[in-house]
Structure 1
Amino acid sequence: MKSFTERNPMVIGAVGVAVVAAIVVAALQYQNLPLVGQGKTYSAYFADAGGLLSGADVEVSGFPAGRVSRIELDGAQVLVHFRVDKNIRMGEATHAAIKTKSLLGTKVLDVVPRGGGTLTGPIPMSATSSPYQLPDALGDLANTISGLDTDQLSASMATLSEAFTDTPAELRNAVQGVSRFAETLNRRDAQLRNLLDNAATATGVLAQRSDQIVQLVGDTNAVLAELQTQSKAVEEIWTNISAVSLQLKGFIDDNRQQLRPALEKLNGVLTIVDNRKERLQTSIKLLNKYAMSLGESLSSGPFFKAYVANLLPGQFVQPFIDAAFSDLGLDPSVLLPSDRTDPQTGQPGTPALPVPFPRTGQGGEPALNLPEAITGKPGDPRYPYREPLPAPPPGGPPPGPPAAVAPVENPVMQP
């Protein structure tokens, strides 16, 4: 079997990407998996979706038991598909209704199991009900009130009050109260109609912007959660700022006498700078031009000589320089110890390598005993021992190379 290092990295990378993608899809759609999503899907017909969205909660007898999976238009009807727990039995007479869960208009699907048997097809529209919207309620109330004859209502209440004049005091007071209420409605008729119209307009705007309001509340919750998370860090920052301020206050209190003269001198310097601000700005502009010109001239050669115009000659400035050095106890004609030698140019030289010794090639201190350097010494790694040459035979030539025989000049003949 091949190891991972011997396999094709492109194939391994493709398999890894596919596995990661499958895990991400399974994590996002786990409720739709056949082995994990244990719910059963049902459907119902509604005359109006009423703001119900996919993913809304499904409540069975007021208890959360599933979610709306899909909403589609089937002719003039709205077909809502939803999933509930498979352990909940839905009868043939099951009723479904779209209800409002919160004041912001969040909708839920409320399912009430009824009847015997098992629900096999969609719930018919006769067994479903759409939500009653607040704008519709206010609109119906406005239409009902707009059709009332307030004058006739006031006259009817007055007649009723006169008819019950001989009745007991409790009933007469009740009728008189109703009559006064009718008169109040008559007097405030225009204001009430205006109020209801404005309320209908406001509720209509809220209904149109319900999604934005829900998003705003969600964003506000996220901001509050982040602020709560960062509250500890903010508290630490404020604590550190308080500690620093206390330290600065203590430092100023302890050094008030020393800081006062320094601050006074600083104020004087700042005053001088402020009074000569225009001159300083002009000098900085001129210095910029001079520096640019100097840089251009410097880049054109291996050396340069800078000349600043309008300076006093050296013979005029020299007495002041000597006086300044004498105040410091220095003699300008005497060089400092660091100025008496030329500074180093370049890098220091490379140190010499150790010299190899004969027969060994290793560095180190040479042996002072000459025979050890020639014949060696047992156990010495630098001068290993060497067996001496055997002694020459008696009467033979001495050891070493043979002696050269010198040529004979002008040989003498023997008689």
Structure 2
Amino acid sequence: MTRPKLPRITIKPLAERNRPAVGVTGILLLIALVVAVFSYDRLPLVKGTSDYAAYFTEAGGIKSNSDVRVSGLDVGRVAGLRLEGNRVRVTFTVRKGVVLGDRTEAAIKTETVLGNKFLELTPRGDGHLTGPIPVERTTSPYDLPDALGDLTAVISGLDTTQLSSALTTLAETFKDTPPDLKMALQGVARFSDTLDKRDATLRQLLADANNVTGVLARRSEQIAGLVANSNALLSELLSQRNSVDALMANLTAVSRQVSAVVDDNRQQLKPAVDKLNGVLEILDNRRADLQRTLYLFRRYAMSFGEVLGSGPFFKASVVNLIPGQLAQPAIEAAFSDLGLDPNVLLPSQLNDPAVGQPGTPPLPMPFPRTGQGGEPNLTLPDAITGKPGDPRYPYREPLPAPPPGGPPPGPPALGPAADGGN
């Protein structure tokens, strides 16, 4: 008997399939994988917690991710809050293995004085908790500001005069009682008198306490942040404790060495300190003179800066230092050595600065050429003598006059009459 042949199943390669469909399927699988990775603790078959809910008359400051505790141990987290009518539905998770009976109670309690809350569960009853915990088995927190406010309201409603009178009457009624009871009632009477006399002060104290608690309630987040920052600072100090200890040890060693140096050189240091004190005393006695000197030096420094502000040279005006009739020959000799005539304008001065080129080149401006050609001379002796490095201005015989008719500063061309005479 021969077996029937089953049809062979063939799988198409991805290259022959519909590429858009393959791409969409791959993207969906990738998204599902990412969601599963980031939400693995919420998947029904993977997560190790169970979901529960409870109804409260008010949230009382509890928030998502607040701790859920059983007998002081963390067993879960608050998942969320939702308002349903006049009740607040709080959903939370509990680790598997924690048994909650069908009469389990829940209460929102205060963890710290700053107002942090957590959810306290009290397992009661048999079986397992299957539905939300009703309002009858839940308790909302009672804050310190509310307690002080209620105390203030109760005390403000008391008639201190009637209370004092009632306590006094009670003391008079029991005045023939045994001495111990009589002393106790007298103490109560004195206490009531004190309350009556300090009524306004007590009311003001309670009002101030109410204001303080209100401020603390409003600034609870800032106080919590301050405490957290202080904890971080202390943690960092603890982590750097070895470094701080080493620093303190080094400072102690340095202070000891300095003290030893001072002790060893006390005889030498005392005269130096005495002289320093003497110098300081002299400076203090001459304070007015020093201030005057600094004021005059400031004016001198400003004038000195103006003198050197035009370039790498001193710009000063000295009046009547040398009489003009004595300086004129030296000036003419200097211009003669340069081949210049003071009465003839330079080519740069022939242009009108308002409509033509500037009359002088921009700074820094070198000294004029000497007529020998080459690079311009950058020092005054070079400009006058024409010799680099010449430290003085020797006298030179004037050059012979150029022929008539040449460029300035030579003599002008002769007229026709002069030509005929020759």
**Is TM > 0.5 for Structure 1 vs Structure 2?**
yes
2:391 equivalent among 288, 293, 314: 314
Change (3 A) 1:177 1:39: same
- Superposed CA offset, 1:23-58 (max 9, x none): 9x74xx775466774121211111111111111111
Change (3 A) 1:276 1:307: farther
Residue aligned with 1:314, SS: coil
Q: How does 1:207-226 map to 2 (within 5 A)?
A: 207-226=217-236
| Offset of residue 166 of structure 1 | 1.6
- Aligned partners of 1:288 and 1:220: how far apart in 2? 59
| Structure 1 spans left out of the alignment, 5+ residues | 1-14, 317-415
1:142 equivalent among 149, 152, 169: 152
Change (3 A) 1:288 1:221: farther
- Aligned partners of 1:285 and 1:118: how far apart in 2? 99
Change (3 A) 1:237 1:141: closer
1:206 paired with 2:228, answer no
- Aligned partners of 1:282 and 1:221: how far apart in 2? 62
- Aligned partners of 2:169 and 2:134: how far apart in 1? 51
| Offset of residue 194 of structure 1 | 0.8
1:67 equivalent among 46, 71, 77: 77
- Aligned partners of 1:111 and 1:45: how far apart in 2? 13
Match for residue 193 of structure 1?
203
Match for residue 400 of structure 1?
none
1:86 paired with 2:158, answer no
Change (3 A) 1:36 1:208: farther
1:290 paired with 2:272, answer no
| Structure 2 spans left out of the alignment, 5+ residues | 1-26, 280-289, 314-360, 367-373, 382-389, 394-422
Match for residue 385 of structure 1?
none
Change (3 A) 1:121 1:303: farther
- Aligned partners of 2:131 and 2:297: how far apart in 1? 94
Residue aligned with 2:79, SS: strand
1:167 equivalent among 177, 197, 200: 177
| Offset of residue 101 of structure 1 | 1.3
- Aligned partners of 1:238 and 1:174: how far apart in 2? 60
Residue aligned with 1:48, SS: coil
- Aligned partners of 1:110 and 1:235: how far apart in 2? 44
- Aligned partners of 1:177 and 1:201: how far apart in 2? 32
Change (3 A) 1:288 1:108: farther
| Offset of residue 151 of structure 1 | 1.0
- Aligned partners of 1:286 and 1:225: how far apart in 2? 64
Code of the aligned partner of 1:79:
R
Change (3 A) 1:167 1:22: same
Code of the aligned partner of 2:311:
Y
- Superposed CA offset, 1:159-216 (max 9, x none): 1111111211111111111111111111111111111111111111111211211111
Residue aligned with 1:53, SS: coil
Change (3 A) 1:163 1:239: closer
Q: How does 1:220-299 map to 2 (within 5 A)?
A: 220-233=230-243, 279=300, 283=304, 290=311
| Offset of residue 63 of structure 1 | 2.1
Residue aligned with 1:64, SS: strand
- State which drifts further: 177-186 or 283-292: 283-292
- Aligned partners of 1:183 and 1:96: how far apart in 2? 45
| Offset of residue 236 of structure 1 | 5.1
Change (3 A) 1:196 1:287: same
Match for residue 346 of structure 2?
none
- Aligned partners of 2:250 and 2:375: how far apart in 1? 55
Aligned-pair RMSD on alpha carbons?
Answer: 4.4
Task: Report if aligned partners of 2:76, 2:94 keep a CA contact under 8 Å in 1.
Answer: yes
TM-score (normalizing by structure 1): 0.56
Change (3 A) 1:303 1:129: farther
1:56 paired with 2:66, answer yes
Change (3 A) 1:89 1:34: same
Change (3 A) 1:172 1:40: same
- Superposed CA offset, 1:105-146 (max 9, x none): 211110001111211121111110100111111111111111
- Aligned partners of 2:70 and 2:184: how far apart in 1? 45
TM-score (normalizing by structure 2): 0.55
- Aligned partners of 2:42 and 2:365: how far apart in 1? 78
- Aligned partners of 2:125 and 2:107: how far apart in 1? 16
Change (3 A) 1:243 1:181: closer
Match for residue 158 of structure 1?
168
| Offset of residue 72 of structure 1 | 2.1
Residue aligned with 1:191, SS: helix
- Aligned partners of 1:123 and 1:279: how far apart in 2? 93
Match for residue 194 of structure 2?
184
Code of the aligned partner of 1:124:
P
Change (3 A) 1:173 1:234: closer
| Offset of residue 229 of structure 1 | 3.5
Change (3 A) 1:291 1:132: farther
Change (3 A) 1:232 1:186: same
Change (3 A) 1:232 1:147: same
Change (3 A) 1:138 1:307: same
**How many aligned positions are there?**
278
- Aligned partners of 1:244 and 1:278: how far apart in 2? 47
